[in-house]
Structure formats: C-alpha cells, structure tokens
Amino acid sequence: MDTILELKNITKIYPGGVVANRDVNFDLIDGEIHALVGENGAGKSTLMKIIFGMEQPNDGQIIYRGKQTEINDPNQAIEMGIGMVHQHFMLVPSFTVSENLQLGMEPTKGVFIDNKRLLEVTLELANRYGFYVEPDKPVENIPVAMKQKVEILKVLLRGAKVLILDEPTAVLTPQETKELFTQLKMLKEAGHSIIFISHKLKEVKEISDRVTVLRDGKTQGTLKTSEVSEKDISLLMVGRDITSFDMLRANHISDTTFSVRNVSLKLENNEILKNISFDVREGQILGIAGVEGNGQVELVKQLTREIPINIGEVKLLGQTIKDMSMHGMRKLGFSYIPEDRMEKGIASEGTIYENIVADRIVQDKFTKRGILNTKNIISKAKDLIKEYHVKTSSHNQKIAALSGGNIQKVVVAREASTNPKFLLAEQPTRGVDVGSIEFIHNQLIKLRDQGSAILLISADLEEVMKLSDQILVMYDGEIVAYFDNKDVSEEELGLAMLGLSKHDESRPRGAIANE
Amino acid sequence: MSDKTFQMLRTLLAVLIALALALIITFIVSDKPLESFSLFLFGPFRNLRYMGNVIEAAIPLAFAGLATSILFSANLFNLGSEGIYYVSGLVAAAIVINVNITGVGLPILAIIIAGIVGMILSLLPGFLKAKWDVNVLVTSLMFNTIYFGFGLYFLNYYLRDPNISQIASFSFPDNARLKRIIEGTRVHSGLIILLVVAFVVYIFLYKTKWGYSIRMYGINKNFSEYVGASSFGIIMLTHISAGLVAGIGGSVEVLGMYTRFRWASLPGLGFDGALVAMLAKNRPLASLGAALFLAYIRTGADLMSRLSDVPAEIVAFIQAAIILLISAERFLFYWRHKMLLKEADK
C-alpha cells in the first residue's frame, strides 16, 4: 500500500482575502477510495483544483509518486495520470459520445477522422470498464447519468490513475447512485485511486475506505471510514451537533396566490416544457423535485419572464404577469431567490448594504425625490445583517468578500424580509454550508407560516422532502407525479424522477386548486 | 491595507514606471537628456502662465472624463464624447453669433442649449443600445464621424467667415466669452462650472437612486433587472446625463478658449475622456485629478519639444504605459498575494 499522492501544508488564499485552504494535509493511497468531505465553502473544491493544476497554492508541497512536483495546469495533471470529473459536465452537446470521448485525440485517416476506429476505441473502452454508453448518440440526447459515465471514461481514456470526482451524486437519483458506486468499486479493483468529494455522509460511509474532513479550509483529520459513524464525521465537519428536527407541515392552505396554466415552451424544436399547470397557495410550500436538466431552469425563466411566456398563462394574485415588468411584479409581492447568486442575486463589486436592500431602493422606499437616505439604508442593512446572521465585519464590506453561505444569506434577507406574497426559491441552498442551510430552511418555513406562497425548485431531494407540503416531480419537461408530502418515500420519488413511474393525468392535477 | 489604498498605490506606481520609461527614452533620443527631462517634469511649474496652461488643458479633459465616468459606471463602453464635444461647441458658437443678448446671459444660454443638444446626440446610440442591444462602442464611434460630418457642413455653409482663409466661424461677441479668472493666465470661469458639474456628478452617481441604479447595472445587469430596475431606463438615463456633461464641456471649451469656432477636425476628447475615467476609476472627483495630471504631462512635453530636441510625442509613450499597467489585472498581483497571506495570518 503505497502513497501515490501527498499534499503537505497547502495554503491557498484568493485575491479578496478569502482563505480557501490553510495548512491542509491530504494523502491518497494507491487503490483506495478516499472521501473528501466538508461543508460547502470548506475548501474541498479549491483543494481539488490545486491537485488538478487549475489553481496554484500560495504555500505547501505536492508530492506525487514520491517526487515533489508542481502542477501548473490541467494538461500537466492529465499527463501525470490525474483526471477530474467536474460537477458541471464539460461536454460538447452536439457531438456524439465517441466524439466527446476522443476530442483532441481522434484517430485519423489522412486528414479525415477515422470514424470506424473512433467507434471501436469507444466500445473497447466501455467494455473494458463495464460502462454502458451509446457511442453514436449526440451527448445532448443522453441522460445525465450517462453523461457522467462519458466524463469518467474520458478521464480513463487519457490514462488517469487518480480520479477526482466532484460531488458526482448531486445530479443522480438514488438508483443511479447505486449503479455508480458499483462501477467505482470496479475501478478500485482495477487499481485506480479515487478521490470522492461529497457532503452526503451516507454515501461516504457506503463507498469510501478513508475519509478526510475539511472545515473552514483546514484539515480536521483523516479517518478509516469503517471505524467511524456518520455522526462522528458530521461532528468534525460542522464542529457541533446538527439537530435534525421534524418540520411542521402547513395546517391551513387557503387562496391561490400564484397560478400556472398550460405553460409550454419550445426551443429550437425541442419541447422543453410540456403543458405545465399548478397552483401555489397562501401558506404553502410547493416543491418541485427532479433530476437537473428536466426543464426546471426553463420553467424558472418563464416564471421570471427571462423567456417570454408565449403559450399558457401565469397569474400572480389574479393578474397575468405576461406583460408585467419585474418592477411591477415585485410591487405585487413577488420575490425570487435565484439559483446562481453570483450571476443574478448580487452585484459583487457593491457593498453589503447596497445589495441587501436593492429592491427597496429601486422601489423608492429609501429615497426622497431621488436622493438616497443613506442613513436609513445603512441602519436597515445593519438590522438585516443581524437578523439573518450574516457574518461580516461591516455593512460597508464588498459583498464578494463574503463566503458563499453568507452571500446567500444576504440574498435571502433581501428577498424574505419584504413579506413577499409569493417567493420563488430556486435551489436556495446550493453551495451553502450546513449551518446556513438550516437557517435558510427555517426562514422559508417562517415565511410560509406567515402566509407566503412558496415555490421551491430543488435538485436536492432531501431539501424538497424536508420543506414541501406538496411535491411535484418534473421529468423531461413534464409534471409526472404529484405527492402529498406525508406518505411519500424517497424510492417513490426517485422512480418518478427517473421517469419510470408516472401518475395518470388526474393525479398531478391535485396541484391545482378547485376552481 | 484596504483595497482602495492598494488601488491608489498601484495607480501611483504605474505613473512612476511610465515616467521612468519616458526618462529612458529621453536618454536615448536627446543630447542633453537631463536638461530636457527636467523641462518636461518641472517646466509646467516655471511660471504662472505655464501653470495656467495646465489648468486650461485640464478643463476639457475633466469634462470628457466626467461624461465617460458616468458611462463606464454603467459598464457602457461609449466613446462618443468626441462628436458631442464638436457639435455642442458648434451649437454654442452658432448661438453666440446669432442671438443678440447682452451680458452674461448669452454664454449661459449657449451653454444650456449646448448641454441639451449633447443630451439629444447621446440619446441616439443610447436608444439603439437600450432597445436592440447594439454594441455601443461601435455606434458611438460611428456617430462621432456622422456628427462631425454634419458639424463641418454646418460650419462651412452657415457659420464660416468668408473673410479669413482658414475654416473658422464668425468671431464671437465679447460678452459671449467666459471671463478670465486668474490674472496672467487664460484660465477662465469654465473652471468654476467644471467644479460645480464634478460635484453634481458625484452627488448624482453616489447619493441618488439613479446613480445607484446606474452603478449596480454596471456591476451586474442581471442583478439589476431582477431587483426590478428597468435596464432600458438606466441605459437611456446614463446616456442623457453623460451627453449633458459632454455638451456643457464642449461649449465651455469653445467659449472659454477661442474667439471663433476653429475645429476643423475632431478634438480627440472621446479617447482622452476614457483615459481620464480609467485613471480615476470612474470616480467623479478623482477625474479632476486625473485630468490635471494628463494636462500636466502634455504641457510638459509640449514645453520640452519647444525648448529642447525631444519631440512632444513622448507623451504617447507615457500614456500607453500607464494605460497598460493600470488595465493589466495581474500587475502587482504577486505583491497583492503576499499581502493577503499576511493579512490572513492576523
């Protein structure tokens, strides 16, 4: 049992002062599956980027196969036998599986690509590792789980001995996860070493030989997985006990706040959304579960009208939003927590106080004849920072200097503190640390109990099950199932998410209030 | 060390490096390099008249810088101050030549109308951007040429004084010209107008809802849209206000420095405005300093070329070096890195 890769005292600080890693130690033994766990923002991704040559550490040593090395870029990492499967797949959608696999190393015949050989290589590779893929299909037409296999094969084809998998199960259903694990174990048998990044402890326990825990950019220790419990790991991760508690379901759901009727969307001849209808009612959290890429993103774009609504009808408090401006919608009580906080949720170069009440400034709440009442803005910002536990030294700090979780809290503070009539929460806790997740969940429950209607769209099944009063499942642009969140199991949801079980038409209509 | 201080030091260092570069070039081309270079560096301080030259030259640069700062704050890379300067200067000239008012009412009227004209001219590329998302860098450069063409035509056929050989308008009445405010120099009351405008722009950008919206839009337009601001409105507003400032700048320059309208080519202030705005990091009050600095190195170079054997084009080197260093993200990156490490250790 030799150590193949060792990191010693790695420190990485980003411009802006964010300490991502500090004195991190990590070692990978030949032929093991080593889990790297930690809350989001603990520095896992940064550490992996350092191993894969995407980031350079400010300090520390990398020892690979007994030799101290510097890894300057991903190409060098690949040459050394290190491969990475990213959370977001890096594939060319219009290319076939084979073409993607051998991109940049295509077998040629003269100046042309040797298509026969292309196919052979793919089949041979897939057979060798027992991965089932369809070589001739364009990647855009294959399911997420298969895309992931293509990514893994891509790395293997380039001769990787060390595989880094960044949260590979985040986009998979429970059934697909099981399959992936079988394959990972086979790879291990074949002599590969795997770094498995996750924050789902159940999976870590199931798949890994050893586990390294990161918290706040520091290593908390490396343990033999068989010798520790999930609870031990979570204690190391968070530094305290996470209390799990039962959420109270909404007890009275009344009038419809937000209604969607027969919304369909076609983009470039693909049917992205098919006849979507549901209602979100006062005091209700309606969850939409589904594997990513089944139309959720487009649905949100329709509801926020980033893509104009052409087919169907969406009403907020009885008024159609088709031609309403975002300003008008917000005035009616619309709030939105976007999936990508950096892209839509904040102005990163602005200060916290400029961000935290942005909607209200636009609505003239803090202005007098156009002049900003900076004193009131700052005092309101200070209140919100306190109320929403945003960890910061000052309201005047650049918001980009905060951690992901704290940035998200600023977004939630802004969107939730206006007592919205309707809140669209799109992956509200993605990339957020456990403590903040808990806090944000509680805020959503509080809003619901105050009578807000909340539409929760999340690929995190746990989140949907924990918060929702009712659950819709989206598959391939369609609502395929409707559950009352009292008597539904993870398995049932999983099957619906895979498109394997579909409720008949009448049942999803349970999400529509009786008219 | 705060980010602001770091940025300031960085700018300062860029300037110093650029000056050092100028010194090296002087050594290569000049027979008496030290003498020439000290002319460049200290010449502008030699007497009141030269110092006045610096301030005179800084006024139009600062106006252009202020206008461009507003545009850049919204992340709109518009270089249209150029054409607006030309036309608004011409409009001011046409008014003082044709309207018969005595006293200071005349220049005031001319400046106001030139400002309004500036707003309208700026609206065209603004509208194209707001409505159809047309690249504003391209349209603003095209409009510069178009506006200049129209302006030159108007000058030639309606305002040109046939009694003199160069292209120039009829002469301005005396009361139209901005009063000199410092004895022994040509520094005119446009300086006061500039200070007022700079202050108003500062208040506008940093203390009003509109300026706030413009800045947030500039940082992240998706964000600005999602919190309910209208991008269309912001783009239009940005262009209107920048046009107003540029329009005032053009007319102030013409009425402050000339007795006739004499621009037979574009004054080149569109690019200068961008340079000033970049040096000042889009901050209105810093624009004043940046404009002064530019005017200072230009005056110095001018003196050097007149009194020594080094050509004035050396300024172009200095400007290029400064722009390169300031816009190069990685300049001083390593140092910043070390600083972060230390800070984090606290």
Q: How far is CA A165 from CA A185, A276, A291, B272, in A?
A: 13, 35, 19, 51
- CB pairs < 8 Å spanning A and B: 92
CB B197 within 8 A of CB B63: yes
Cβ <8 Å between B227 and A19: no
- Residue B190, number of CB atoms within 10 A of its CB: 29
Cβ <8 Å between B225 and A326: yes
A236-250, B5-19, B187-201, B292-306: which has the highest mean pLDDT?
A: B187-201
ipTM of this predicted structure: 0.84
Whether B188 and B316 share a structural domain: no
Could you write out the three-class secondary structure of A321-376? CCCCCHHHHHHHCEEEECCCHHHHHCCCCCEHHHHHCHHHHHCCCCEECCEECHHH
Whether B326 and B279 share a structural domain: no
Name the nearest CA neighbour of A5 among A83, A89, A88: A83
Q: What is the pLDDT of residue A244?
A: 46
Which region among A204-208, A285-289, B83-87, B327-331 has the lowest average model confidence (pLDDT)?
B327-331
B180 in reach of chain A (CB within 8 A)? no
Whether B12 and B141 share a structural domain: no
Q: What is the pLDDT of residue A487?
A: 78
The three-state secondary structure class of A39 is coil
For residues A166 and A110, what is the distance between their CA atoms, to the nearest angstrom?
38
**B78 assigned to some structural domain:** yes
**Record: fold of A3-238:** Rossmann fold (3.40.50)
Cβ <8 Å between A350 and B230: no
> Which residues from chain B sit within 8 angstroms of residue A304, using beta carbons?
226
Q: What is the pLDDT of residue A250?
A: 59
Cβ <8 Å between A17 and B228: no
Which CATH number characterizes residue B176's domain? 1.10.3470
**B39 assigned to some structural domain:** no
Which residues on adjacent β-strands are paired with residue A221? A213
**B318 assigned to some structural domain:** yes
**B16 assigned to some structural domain:** yes
Q: DSSP letter for B310, please.
A: S
Q: Is the per-residue pLDDT at B344 higher than 80?
A: no
Q: Is the per-residue pLDDT at B334 higher than 70?
A: no
Instruction: Give the structural domain span for B3.
Output: 1-30+311-346
Whether B339 and B276 share a structural domain: no
Domain total in chain B:
2
Q: What is the pLDDT of residue A245?
A: 44
To the nearest whole angstrom, how far is the Cα of A41 from the nearest Cα of chain B? 17
Tell me the average pLDDT across A139-164: 89
Residue among A16, A58, A371 minimizing CB distance to B207? A371
What integer best gives the mean pLDDT of chain B? Answer: 90
The three-state secondary structure class of B307 is helix
For residues A341 and B254, what is the distance between their CA atoms, to the nearest angstrom?
49
A346 in reach of chain B (CB within 8 A)? yes
Closest-CA residue in chain A for B3? Answer: A16
**B9 assigned to some structural domain:** yes
B345 in reach of chain A (CB within 8 A)? no
Percent of chain B with pLDDT over 70: 94
Q: Is the per-residue pLDDT at A505 higher than 80?
A: no
| Per-residue pLDDT tens over the stretch A44-64 | 888 999 999 988 898 899 999
**A254-333+420-515: what CATH class?**
alpha beta
Whether B258 and B332 share a structural domain: no
* Predicted TM-score of the model (pTM): 0.78
In what helix (H) or strand (E) does residue A109 lie, and over which residues does it extend? strand A108-109
> Which residues from chain A sit within 8 angstroms of residue B222, using beta carbons?
343-344
Closest-CA residue in chain A for B333? Answer: A15
| Per-residue pLDDT tens over the stretch B175-209 | 999 999 988 899 999 999 999 999 999 999 999 99
**B245 assigned to some structural domain:** yes
Cβ <8 Å between A15 and B229: no
Backbone angles phi, psi at A166, to 5 degrees: -90, 105
Residue among B212, B215, B228 minimizing CB distance to A327? B228
Q: Is the per-residue pLDDT at A334 higher than 90?
A: yes
The three-state secondary structure class of A420 is coil
Q: Which residue is listed with tokens 């705005």?
A: B277
> Which residues from chain B sit within 8 angstroms of residue A361, using beta carbons?
209, 212-213
Domain A254-333+420-515 in the same topology as domain A3-238: yes
For residues B314 and B23, what is the distance between their CA atoms, to the nearest angstrom?
10
What integer best gives the mean pLDDT of chain A? Answer: 87
Return the C-alpha torsion angle B295, B296, B298, B303, nearest 10.
Answer: 130
**B277 assigned to some structural domain:** yes
pLDDT band at residue A412 using 50, 70 and 90 as cut-offs: very high
Q: What is the pLDDT of residue A364?
A: 86
Q: Is the per-residue pLDDT at B51 higher than 60?
A: yes
Q: Is the per-residue pLDDT at B18 higher than 50?
A: yes
B282 in reach of chain A (CB within 8 A)? no
**B47 assigned to some structural domain:** no
- Which strands, in side-by-side order, build the sheet including A67-69? A19-29, A3-13, A59-64, A67-69
> Which residues from chain B sit within 8 angstroms of residue A58, using beta carbons?
337, 340-341
Domain ranges of chain A: 3-238, 254-333+420-515, 347-417
Q: DSSP letter for B332, please.
A: T
Q: Is the per-residue pLDDT at B217 higher than 90?
A: yes
Q: Rg for chain B (alpha carbons), in Å?
A: 21
Q: Is the per-residue pLDDT at A240 higher than 70?
A: no
Which region among A167-176, A370-379, B181-190, B232-241 has the lowest average model confidence (pLDDT)?
A167-176
Whether B8 and B140 share a structural domain: no
Residue among B207, B228, B343 minimizing CB distance to A363? B228
For residues A15 and A280, what is the distance between their CA atoms, to the nearest angstrom?
43
Higher-confidence residue of A143 and B65: namely B65
Cβ <8 Å between B337 and A58: yes
**Length of chain B measured in residues:** 346
Tell me the average pLDDT across A483-492: 83
For residue B100, give every residue at least 6 positions away whose Cβ sits within 8 Å of its Cβ, in sequence order, or none.
none
> Which residues from chain A sit within 8 angstroms of residue B210, using beta carbons?
370
